[in-house]
Structure 1
Amino acid sequence: MTGADIDAVAAVRVRGWQSAYAGIVPQPYLDAMSAEEDAARRREYFARSDGRAENLVAVDGTGVIGWASHGPYRGEDARTGNGELYAIYVRPELIGTGAGRALMDAVLERAAERGFTRLRLWVLEKNARARRFYERAGFTPDGVEQDEDYYGTALAEVRYVRDLT
């Protein structure tokens, strides 16, 4: 990903949230999302990046169609050498076309090259489509759960893990 991709990535991310989390995350939270505001935040992150997080984009003839971000695990046991998939999204109309799978394959390859022996991720418990996607990619729940607050509503998240060795 380059700085020139930020607007497109923000659009993919916001549309991805609004599609994937409809009926799960409170609608006012989704309605309040803005690609322009997200792009401004991404520019800040990008400008002060220390290189720990790696952002990848999937492109086709129309431009950016997907985005993923990964880096060191941010949890309580962050010093273990585990990596974390922070986010992965494709344009909603391209779900099921293999774009997400290709992006996941690139993340898994890059994470292993970076020396991570395991990759973790958090997914909303009620996001059945995403959970199936992660399970098909070899991730399994490891029994750790947490709640995240979305617009005043606590939603359960499940941690998944995949060995990279």
Structure 2
Amino acid sequence: MSDIQVRFATHKDAPAVAALHVSACRAAYAGQVPDTHWEATPMAKRVSYWKEAIEYGEPQVIVALAGQEIVGFVGFDRSRDPKSKNTTGEIWAIYAAPERIGQGVGLALWDAAREGLEDEGCTDVTVWLPLLHEKTLRFHDLAGFKREMNTARTVPLGGVKVEEVRLKRKLA
């Protein structure tokens, strides 16, 4: 049984979400994106972004807790992809603290996001993932997502180019 609880984020969670976002990205992109990229944006600006997202629900943000500690978060909403149906949702971001990977955080967040998207009337969900993140791709494969190879794109990140692919699955 997992010790992970989930709830919608509040304003007071923004600093913890911003810090976790940076630490999780540093770990996920280690060896691909220079550390200087994560240091380029001041933490105050990152906290401001997450406060605004939480306040306006764009994206909706759910945090995962182990006790009182935020150990992961997911941001989800309608798809931002042009030409997507209005019933298509998107996982904008899903991260677990690096030391908590493999401990049920991602599953708890995915379950909460799926329920939230279904409540919003979505019938499908997509997520963009870097091709080199094998653990992340495997997690989404196990969650029923299928790769849409014709959607591959290159995204500049920290002075390097990151190859991404969109994955999709039905919600019901």
> Do the structures match in fold with TM over 0.5?
yes
Give 1:100's aligned residue.
106
What is the DSSP-based 3-state SS (H/G/I as helix, E as strand, rest coil) of the residue aligned with 2:113? helix
Q: Distance in 2 between matches of 1:140 and 1:12?
A: 27
Q: Which runs of 5+ in 2 are unaligned?
A: 1-8
The answer to whether structure 1 residue 81 and structure 2 residue 91 are counterparts is no
Cross-structure match for 2:60: 54
Provide Cα deviations, 1:26-49, integer angstroms capped at 9, x if missing partner: 3431343554431122223344x2
Provide the TM-score with structure 2 as the length reference.
0.87
Deviation at 1:52, TM superposition (A): 4.8
**1:160 matched to which residue of 2?**
167
Q: Name structure 1 gaps, 5 residues minimum.
A: none
Structure-1 residue corresponding to 2:129? 123
Give the Cα–Cα distance (whole angstroms) in 2 for the partners of residues 39 and 117 of structure 1: 32
What SS class does the counterpart of residue 81 from structure 2 fall into?
coil
Assess if the C-alpha contact under 8 Å between 1:54 and 1:70 holds in 2: yes
The percentage of counterpart residues that share the same residue type is 31
| Secondary structure at the counterpart of residue 76 of structure 2 | strand
Deviations 1:101-154 (A, max 9, x none): 111111112111211100000001111111011111111101211111112322
State the shift of 1:90 in Å: 1.1
Q: Is the contact made by 2:155 and 2:164 (CA closer than 8 Å) also made in structure 1? A: yes
CA shift for structure 1 position 162: 0.9
Matched-pair contact (CA < 8 Å) for 1:66–1:89:
yes
Other structure's SS at 2:63 match:
strand
Matches within 5 A, 1:1-165: 1-32=9-40, 34-47=42-55, 49=56, 51-143=57-149, 144-165=151-172
| Cα contact 1:55–1:68 (8 A) shared by 2 | yes
Tell me the amino acid that sits aligned with residue 13 of structure 2: D
Q: Aligned equivalents of 1:19 and 1:142: distance in 2?
A: 25
